Homo-oligomer: A and B are copies of this chain.
């Protein structure tokens, strides 16, 4: 007998991740391929759909619903991708309609950080937790909230934008138009920018001077800090300081069981987590902060596609409702 299965599409600026699961949520094969954004949205979605059909054939399952995760901004209800900075040319792209036309199946869409929060909550380090905050620290900083075991969308689907909490009033300008946002200080891009600013105005030697200024990344700053480069270490400490401020404010407001960090900057692991936990423990006085886990996402780059499987299951439930 052919089993029913849910399909997941997680669309990122550099890769598309695909996944299947049976209708109980048991994962089946996953796959990923490079996005190659310049091809435009239709050929990319067509390739994803063909690949999902092939994967379903190989696994001997019949697709019954699809969940899609994608970088925002997007219009979840109308199923439109609006104009994500990492997907140039995808403006107002009606992804839900396209997937529905091609597969004739119920489809739901959500943003990638919400999908990742769902994924970590059901399949990852957040399993069994009632309240968690997922934060991705990458080119930008995004987030997703699970409260009382439910995803939070908020008005205008604006919930979880923790990257735009202000941690340094009158601080550096943020892409959003405000100043001193967490994203303007602690995103990968901002870490690199702060390092370059220090290199320029500061005569000290630093291994970061070895390449060109364009080669400085959050990754190279972390690596240099790890081997004792003083300037890089200052930039890293500052990153931890601002991140701790943001997370402390989230803890004061929400008291989640866990804050789960994903995205490129989080792969620094203990180099980030140990001083971050220390800093937060020192700054939050109002509640038993040691009960809040500050941990790395356990599904890595797959948090989003796992979450898209859950979104797909909801599409099925919504059809049956």
Choice from B147, B156, B167, B177 contacting A147 with Cβ under 8 Å: B147
A278 to chain B, nearest CB (A): 15
Whole-angstrom CA separation of A35 from B167 in the bound complex: 41
Interface string of A128-161 (1 = CB under 8 A from B): 0001000000000001010110101111111111
Q: Please tell me if the beta carbons of A178 and B285 are within 8 angstroms of each other in the complex.
A: yes
Choice from B161, B177, B287 contacting A253 with Cβ under 8 Å: B161
Q: Please tell me if the beta carbons of A287 and B257 are within 8 angstroms of each other in the complex.
A: no
Q: Contacts A131-B154, A148-B150, A152-B147; is A166 near B245 (CB within 8 Å)? A: yes
Interface string of A49-85 (1 = CB under 8 A from B): 0000000000000000000000000000000000000
Within 8 A of B (CB), among A201-258: 245, 248-257
Asked whether A43 is an interface residue with its Cβ less than 8 Å from the other chain, the reply is no
Question: Hey, which chain B residues are within 8 Å of A155, CB to CB?
Answer: 131, 255-257, 287-288, 291-292
Asked whether A191 is an interface residue with its Cβ less than 8 Å from the other chain, the reply is no
Q: Please tell me if the beta carbons of A253 and B131 are within 8 angstroms of each other in the complex.
A: no
Whole-angstrom CA separation of A292 from B176 in the bound complex: 18
Interface string of A166-207 (1 = CB under 8 A from B): 111100001011100000000000000000000000000000
Q: Please tell me if the beta carbons of B285 and A253 are within 8 angstroms of each other in the complex.
A: no
Copies held by the complex: 2
Q: Please tell me if the beta carbons of B256 and A154 are within 8 angstroms of each other in the complex.
A: yes
Asked whether A164 is an interface residue with its Cβ less than 8 Å from the other chain, the reply is yes
Q: Please tell me if the beta carbons of B254 and A145 are within 8 angstroms of each other in the complex.
A: yes
Asked whether A162 is an interface residue with its Cβ less than 8 Å from the other chain, the reply is yes
Q: Please tell me if the beta carbons of B176 and A255 are within 8 angstroms of each other in the complex.
A: no
Choice from B157, B166, B287 contacting A161 with Cβ under 8 Å: B287
Residue of B nearest to A167 (CB): B169
Whole-angstrom CA separation of A285 from B181 in the bound complex: 11
Bin the interface of chain A by size.
Answer: 35 or more
Question: Hey, which chain B residues are within 8 Å of A252, CB to CB?
Answer: 158, 161-162, 164-166
Asked whether A283 is an interface residue with its Cβ less than 8 Å from the other chain, the reply is yes
Q: Please tell me if the beta carbons of B288 and A253 are within 8 angstroms of each other in the complex.
A: no
Q: Please tell me if the beta carbons of A152 and B156 are within 8 angstroms of each other in the complex.
A: no
Asked whether A2 is an interface residue with its Cβ less than 8 Å from the other chain, the reply is no
Max chain B Cβ within 10 angstroms of own Cβ: one of A145, A150, A152: A152
Question: Hey, which chain B residues are within 8 Å of A158, CB to CB?
Answer: 251-252, 255, 286-288
Provide 19 A-B residue pairs closer than 8 Å at the C-beta atoms, listed in order of the A residue.
Answer: A131-B154, A145-B253, A147-B148, A147-B150, A155-B255, A155-B287, A158-B255, A159-B253, A159-B255, A161-B287, A162-B253, A164-B284, A164-B286, A165-B249, A167-B169, A174-B285, A178-B285, A253-B253, A253-B254
Residues of chain A whose beta carbon lies under 8 Å from any beta carbon of chain B: 131, 143, 145, 147-148, 150, 152-162, 164-169, 174, 176-178, 245, 248-257, 283-288, 291-292
Given contacts A166-B249, A168-B169, A178-B284, list 15 more A-B pairs with CB under 8 A. Answer: A131-B155, A131-B159, A145-B254, A147-B148, A155-B257, A155-B287, A155-B288, A155-B291, A157-B255, A158-B288, A159-B253, A161-B252, A165-B249, A167-B169, A177-B285
